[in-house]
Structure 1
Amino acid sequence: MDVDDLIALVRNYNPRTNEDLIRRAYEYGCRMHEGQFRQSGEPYFTHPVAVAAILTEMRLDDATIVTALLHDTIEDTRSTWAEVSDLFGRDVADLVDGVTKLTNLQLSGAHSKQAENFRKLFVAMSRDLRVILVKLADRLHNMRTIRSMRPEKQAQKARETMEIFAPLAGRMGMQWMREELEDLAFKVLNPEARNSIIRRFVVLQKENGDVIPQITADIRAALETEGIDAAVFGRAKRPYSVWRKMQEKQLSFSRLSDIYGFRIITGTDPDCYRALGVIHRKWRTVPGRFKDYISQPKSNGYRSIHTTVSARDGTRVEVQIRTRAMHEVAEAGVAAHWAYRDGVRSRNPFAVDPGEWLTSLTERFGEEDHDAFLEAVKLEMYQDQVFCFSPKGDVIQLPKGATPIDFAYAIHTRLGNACVGAKVDGIRVPLWTRLKNGQGVEIIAAAGQRPQATWLDIVVTGRAKAAIRRSLREEDRSRFIRLGSELLRVAFEHVNRKITDKALRTAARALALTDADELLARVGAAELSAQRVVGALYPDLTPPADEIDAGRAVAGLQADQEFNRAPCCNPLPGERIVGVTYRGKGVVIHAIDCPVLADFESQPERWVDLRWREGRHPAVYTVPLSLTIRHDAGVLGRICTLIGAQGANISDLEFQDRKPDFYRLRVEICLRDAEHLHALMTALEAESDVAQVARIRDSSATV
């Protein structure tokens, strides 16, 4: 596409466009990328131009179009922010810089790094939403041309698209982009399934004819009879959408309903409901398949009426009914905020600013709560919504699968913390009940009630999970401080040092913590190892440099493969191991006698022959032990001392059973290897206060 064609696309919706600005940006980008080529062999600049063309479909402003043309210049050419700012203005330079930073974020890979980068992504988006619009268009064009990449690169980009960019486009209200991104990724990740569904569509069309124009004509005729002016469109749903429904409902293609979708676009809200009446009078409705998102819009601004009916020859079809203004938001989403018509930004009354959602997410979690932030983002991006009513008639919007506890926290944190029960539509229900659309919910609260740890497995909203964790941390803080003090005492004695208040304050400063209590609490909560605290004060006492790097402890992996220890058996150096490949999780290593391996006997292609490297390993490999000890003063302290004396470290400790004469504990110990474990268990078994010690292996633990 040459510059005149691009300007013509912009002029179609914005006659007042600054043609000179776009022309200069086109020429500058072409000059900067001169000599660069894509994997397909095409000149590289064809990509920025294609991204700009995608954005013209959303009728975006000149600055965004220019950003698309220049979005790779700062990253891939000799261009600089200062030069772009001088030539095209600071607004464009900041947008290009924002897209560059998003491109450099590694959104797949190690979980902790992914979580941290997710926060950076959302902070950048909250500053200017046009940044994510350019990035989504960039990803869309890359997925459209992905076949020129190496197979492993295709798989990585497709997974990233399916897990991050497609749901994000959906949360931004850009449903058409979400569907295309999902289907393009599906084509890479599961081509056999996609081709199978396409073949089924072809067979269905041969058997029944092309039902889409037939049903479209039926709907138009019925609406015209009632004098309703409306546009009607029909289409078969995308292969990935069909496949996902087959998986969710565990149905075969032949039993799947509503694989065809139809849209009725009216002029006014009353016409939407009139059209609904026409459809319901003409065809029989499918029970439980009616949703009114006009009276209860989705959080991303989506408004429409959805109904499913048995149409011509009993074919089940989904019908969506909405006005033209609602349709613009349904298609463009956040882009409707920036869309231009006739040279001016068009204000759509139904467009919702997702900036409020972004800001609330980034403000709700502390700077270090990366994992909680990632969990909340994914929950809110992936799940659909339900709407429930408070006793005062307020509408509370929650993700699908939400419980009364989520409802309570959505109203106020204090109400969630004090929740002891709930009534749904006047009937007392358990707190784990999954709420449904339109239900009335009343929360029963009691003074002095505190959140339970089991609630974390019940709730689904990030807000509820964050509040519960915060409350549990506060409640357990004193217990964690006592446990942390004991763990650090043992760790200090192990290096022949004494723990003092001054040493704790110095270590807290060295680790950028507020005070000694914060240090002790983090050690007790297993958020910080006692070894790291000792290392902060006495770096010369840290493990010798000839220890094997824990990240390279396994031989037999390919250069780019990562490994994780299976939680079912927690293999240690010195034990025979085998690797099993998992999609998206690299290689997971199991002990050779792990019962879980029986599940993979029919999949030998997933097995990887591995072995531990020989040499001294660091004591970083956790193994859970079950300990039954005498209930008496000082016993736990002596057991902790004994474990420390064996050169091991306690990373977690949980009381599982408390009786008048004994305690049963689950203790996670950091060990070097299998010999280290044997020596520790022998020492514990010889202790008179220990009634039983056993290694825990849990075949139900998931990878």
Structure 2
Amino acid sequence: MNDKTLIQRLRKTYDSQVEDLIRDIKAYDPDVDEEQIRLAYRVALEAHARQRRQSGEPYFEHCLQVARILVELHMDAPTIIAALLHDTVEDTYITLKYIEEHFGERIAWLVDGVTKIGGLRFQSKEMRQAETFRKMLLSMVDDIRVIIIKFADRLHNMRTLDSVPDAKKERIAIETRDVYAPLAHRLGIARIKTELEDLSLKYLDPKVYKDIRKKVKATKKERENYIQRVKEPIEKELKAHNIEARIVGRPKSFFSIYNKMKVRNKPFEEIYDLFAIRIIVKRIEECYYVLGIVHSLYMPVSDRFKDYIATPKINGYQSLHTTIVGPDGKMVEIQIRTEEMHYMAEDGIAAHWRYKHGILERTRFDEHLNWIKDLLERQISSSDPGDFLEDLKIDLFQDEVFVFSPRGDLFKLPRGATAVDFAYAVHTSVGNHCIAAKINGKIVPLKTELKSGQQVEIITSQNQKPNQDWLSFVKTSKARHCIRKVLREEQMAQTLKMGEEILNRFLKKHRLTEDSEIVKQALPKIGFQNLENLKVAIGRGEFMIENLERKLFPEQPPPPKKESFFVKFLKRARGDSGIKVHGMDDMLINFARCCQPVPGDRIIGYLTRGRGITIHRTDCKNMVELYKEKERIIDVEWDTEGDQKFQVQLSIVGEDRKNLLKDITTVIAKLDINIFNASFHVEEMYARGILDIEVKNLQHLTKIINAIRKINGVFSVERVEDISSSIETEPF
């Protein structure tokens, strides 16, 4: 069949459907440019004419259904046109230049915003996925219609996922559940979020989905009768008070019911809050008046009231939520809102686009996009796609708590956020130097979770800096990003220092300096632009100093490959099963001061010059340096006697109060621990100290640390890692 005949057949199917689409648009936008929509239809139909979806239907069916979803959201004509054309650049001969020439720069920009990144090679699927999301979010910040088109595209793809291969089906459903549905929720588009969640459940756990759907359908009549019993007294009272209102029962989504079953570990039959009742009024003041009426009719559950009108959710959602004890003693959630709030709750950010005299107007809702801008700005300094996707998901999966600064400023944070998250929300510098917090005037540790209504004050010190442990309890992506950034910078500084020491020893050995001409000339030959890059590569172990030696002195013969006394010794020492650590024989075995290993830690041995074997933890910060001479690394294992003790140094920070040191030493004494050194001093509002103690093993040490952390006024307890301690690296 030739193209002309094929297109004629397709037009017989779709001409009338597109006219119906235009009629529906005109119902809310009478001035729509009908011819532009018809042109977009013809261009898309012809471009996709020979393409079929995996279901066998014409590919254009997808473009039309995406446009239909956007019409249901009352989106403007440019959005509908971009939806019809959204796959033409990615999948057909149509170019962005063609779209710009025929439909204008803005529509071409919208189409480009929803087009996947092409023409570039990526190291992994994760990196491609991260860059595609990054591009989409960048476009979305400039024009929110990009993500609304993408939502419609994903929604229709999920509705027609049956024909997709199982492996791809699962991948798409997981991505929908983990990214698109939470993003729709964050932007307040409830109707799309709910359907995406239900469809992802349908394909990820079809058995559970079918079971819930069957049971919800079976209990529909019973549920409707109960809702009517709750509604009737409320309707009667509203009428008596001359309040016009709509009262509707809303069933919970399948995905929501599934989560309730999973979290509560209960079967469907024991989940009673399967629906909510909405009361929709005209004015805000009527919301609170109706709340009083509802509470006069039914007993409210005191801790289940939420005022999202006075304090809207992050996505702009507003409503009053209350839970009452209804007929038969069942708890029922009541939501009270205005018509405008209801529209916003259903359509979210899509509701803020209006077409007026040919000009697209943005509204105050743009401020809710600031989190996306912050996320993208933070990622400029990070090339790790895993970090980007992790931070994106953290920002999306958020329920909220509301806390206040001492000045009365309101901060919205995700549920489970800690004092460290609050510190970073105040300012990056405050987070980087926070040492403790005051909640409602009481000093608490940094890992303390915050609750709504609390006043939070952060105590800082210039000597404090983030540590790896913070990543185990912070909840916000900003805190995680800032902590990782500081840790990476510290690691880079250590790596640079190690590389510099190794290079300087080499240069000194050959009576050269960094400014020597021969060194400068060798840099480009070994692939480095400057000395700093070389030092970093050496510090990381990516470049061996021997390679530089061969480049500078090619005339020197390579060293003989005969087996040295050192290698022979290692072979004898290692034996068949490796060296065991039998106690503390100072003539042969030493424990590194830099990481202070104790039984239970994973360890390696390092053969030193004249001081036997030094034992290091495998996570010691000096490992990069140690592995420069791999032939000195020896496999070792613990083999300790029952009464043997090992020295460990602890760093303790706490409130500057009377008897703090006494309380700490009392706890340690009760655990039968020997303290052989203690040093404490006061810094500003807190006390900082070092304790040298003896422990049996890692389990013993963990028990001590946990006991000290429970002492009132103690902020933090950590093992000291003295990375400045020297390690033996001279030739054997």
Specify if TM > 0.5. yes
- Residue range with higher mean Cα deviation, 448-457 or 293-302: 448-457
Q: Is the 8 A contact 1:17 1:343 kept in 2?
A: no
Instruction: Note the 1:181-196 alignment, pairs <5 A.
Output: 181-196=196-211
State the Cα deviation string for residues 401-438 of structure 1 (Å, max 9, x = none): 10011111111122222322212223332221111112
1:297 aligns with 2:319: no
- Residue range with higher mean Cα deviation, 443-452 or 297-306: 443-452
Instruction: Note the 1:349-388 alignment, pairs <5 A.
Output: 351-370=365-384, 371-388=386-403
Instruction: Note the 1:593-632 alignment, pairs <5 A.
Output: 626-628=603-605
1:319 and 1:342 map into 2 onto residues whose CA distance is 40
1:374 and 1:468 map into 2 onto residues whose CA distance is 17
1:440 aligns with 2:417: no
Which residue of structure 2 lines up, in the alignment, with residue 43 of structure 1?
58
1:150 aligns with 2:127: no
2:101 and 2:131 map into 1 onto residues whose CA distance is 33
2:52 and 2:187 map into 1 onto residues whose CA distance is 32
Instruction: Note the 1:269-418 alignment, pairs <5 A.
Output: 269-340=284-355, 351-370=365-384, 371-418=386-433
| Deviation for aligned residue 1:92 | 1.2
Give the residue type in structure 1 aligned to 2:485.
Answer: R
How large is the Cα RMSD of the aligned pairs? 4.3
1:461 aligns with 2:438: no
Secondary structure (helix, strand or coil) at the match of 1:164 reads helix
1:212 aligns with 2:224: no
1:507 and 1:311 map into 2 onto residues whose CA distance is 83
State the Cα deviation string for residues 209-236 of structure 1 (Å, max 9, x = none): 6433443444433322332222222121
1:11 and 1:392 map into 2 onto residues whose CA distance is 51
- Residue range with higher mean Cα deviation, 11-20 or 147-156: 147-156
Secondary structure (helix, strand or coil) at the match of 1:627 reads strand
State the Cα deviation string for residues 214-268 of structure 1 (Å, max 9, x = none): 4344443332233222222212111111111222333433443422022222221
Closer, same or farther in 2 for the Cα pair 1:489/1:447, shift >3 Å?
Answer: closer
| Deviation for aligned residue 1:277 | 1.5
Q: Is the 8 A contact 2:607 2:632 kept in 1?
A: no
Secondary structure (helix, strand or coil) at the match of 2:304 reads coil
Secondary structure (helix, strand or coil) at the match of 1:423 reads strand
Closer, same or farther in 2 for the Cα pair 1:500/1:157, shift >3 Å?
Answer: same
2:480 and 2:56 map into 1 onto residues whose CA distance is 49
Closer, same or farther in 2 for the Cα pair 1:316/1:111, shift >3 Å?
Answer: same
Give the residue type in structure 1 aligned to 2:185.
Answer: G
218, 240, 243: which one pairs with 1:228? Answer: 243
Closer, same or farther in 2 for the Cα pair 1:310/1:476, shift >3 Å?
Answer: same
Secondary structure (helix, strand or coil) at the match of 2:382 reads coil
| Deviation for aligned residue 1:534 | 9.2
Q: Is the 8 A contact 1:507 1:533 kept in 2?
A: no
2:183 and 2:265 map into 1 onto residues whose CA distance is 26
Q: Is the 8 A contact 1:269 1:322 kept in 2?
A: yes
Which residue of structure 1 lines up, in the alignment, with residue 542 of structure 2?
530
Q: Is the 8 A contact 1:372 1:462 kept in 2?
A: no
Secondary structure (helix, strand or coil) at the match of 1:320 reads strand
Secondary structure (helix, strand or coil) at the match of 2:484 reads helix
Give the residue type in structure 2 aligned to 1:384.
Answer: D
Give the residue type in structure 2 aligned to 1:62.
Answer: A
Secondary structure (helix, strand or coil) at the match of 1:53 reads helix
Give unmatched runs, 5+ long, in structure 1.
Answer: 540-623, 651-655, 667-688, 691-703
Q: Is the 8 A contact 1:530 1:649 kept in 2?
A: no
- Residue range with higher mean Cα deviation, 183-192 or 466-475: 466-475
| Deviation for aligned residue 1:368 | 3.0
Give the residue type in structure 2 aligned to 1:65.
Answer: I
Closer, same or farther in 2 for the Cα pair 1:484/1:167, shift >3 Å?
Answer: farther
Give unmatched runs, 5+ long, in structure 2.
Answer: 1-13, 552-600, 617-621, 635-646, 651-691, 699-727
1:45 and 1:534 map into 2 onto residues whose CA distance is 63
Closer, same or farther in 2 for the Cα pair 1:417/1:76, shift >3 Å?
Answer: closer
Alignment size in residue pairs: 572
| Deviation for aligned residue 1:204 | 3.7
State the Cα deviation string for residues 471-517 of structure 1 (Å, max 9, x = none): 33444554332334578899x99xx9x99788998999899999544
State the Cα deviation string for residues 340-388 of structure 1 (Å, max 9, x = none): 4898767766x34444322222112334343333322211101111110
Which residue of structure 2 lines up, in the alignment, with residue 72 of structure 1?
87
- Residue range with higher mean Cα deviation, 175-184 or 467-476: 467-476
2:263 and 2:520 map into 1 onto residues whose CA distance is 54
| Deviation for aligned residue 1:8 | 0.8
1:247 and 1:105 map into 2 onto residues whose CA distance is 42
Which residue of structure 2 lines up, in the alignment, with residue 564 of structure 1?
none
Secondary structure (helix, strand or coil) at the match of 1:193 reads helix
Which residue of structure 1 lines up, in the alignment, with residue 445 of structure 2?
430
Closer, same or farther in 2 for the Cα pair 1:454/1:207, shift >3 Å?
Answer: same
| Deviation for aligned residue 1:400 | 1.1
Which residue of structure 1 lines up, in the alignment, with residue 71 of structure 2?
56
Give the residue type in structure 1 aligned to 2:542.
Answer: A
Which residue of structure 2 lines up, in the alignment, with residue 166 of structure 1?
181
2:492 and 2:345 map into 1 onto residues whose CA distance is 47
1:87 aligns with 2:102: yes
Instruction: Note the 1:481-560 alignment, pairs <5 A.
Output: 481-485=496-500, 516-517=531-532, 520-521=535-536, 524=539, 530-531=542-543
Q: What TM-score results when the alignment is normalised by the length of structure 2? A: 0.69
- Residue range with higher mean Cα deviation, 640-649 or 314-323: 640-649
Give the residue type in structure 2 aligned to 1:145.
Answer: T
Which residue of structure 1 lines up, in the alignment, with residue 582 of structure 2?
none
2:421 and 2:89 map into 1 onto residues whose CA distance is 44
Closer, same or farther in 2 for the Cα pair 1:59/1:341, shift >3 Å?
Answer: farther
| Deviation for aligned residue 1:183 | 0.4
Q: Is the 8 A contact 1:300 1:352 kept in 2?
A: no
State the Cα deviation string for residues 189-216 of structure 1 (Å, max 9, x = none): 0011112222332454466664334434
1:242 and 1:466 map into 2 onto residues whose CA distance is 34
Closer, same or farther in 2 for the Cα pair 1:155/1:353, shift >3 Å?
Answer: same
Q: Is the 8 A contact 1:510 1:536 kept in 2?
A: no
Q: What TM-score results when the alignment is normalised by the length of structure 1? A: 0.71
2:142 and 2:356 map into 1 onto residues whose CA distance is 24
Q: Is the 8 A contact 1:389 1:440 kept in 2?
A: yes
When Rg is computed on C-alpha atoms for both structures, the one with the higher figure is 2
Which residue of structure 2 lines up, in the alignment, with residue 470 of structure 1?
485
Secondary structure (helix, strand or coil) at the match of 2:115 reads helix
Q: Is the 8 A contact 1:107 1:160 kept in 2?
A: no
Closer, same or farther in 2 for the Cα pair 1:10/1:102, shift >3 Å?
Answer: farther
1:329 and 1:507 map into 2 onto residues whose CA distance is 65
214, 230, 246: which one pairs with 1:199? Answer: 214
Secondary structure (helix, strand or coil) at the match of 2:50 reads coil
Which residue of structure 2 lines up, in the alignment, with residue 258 of structure 1?
273
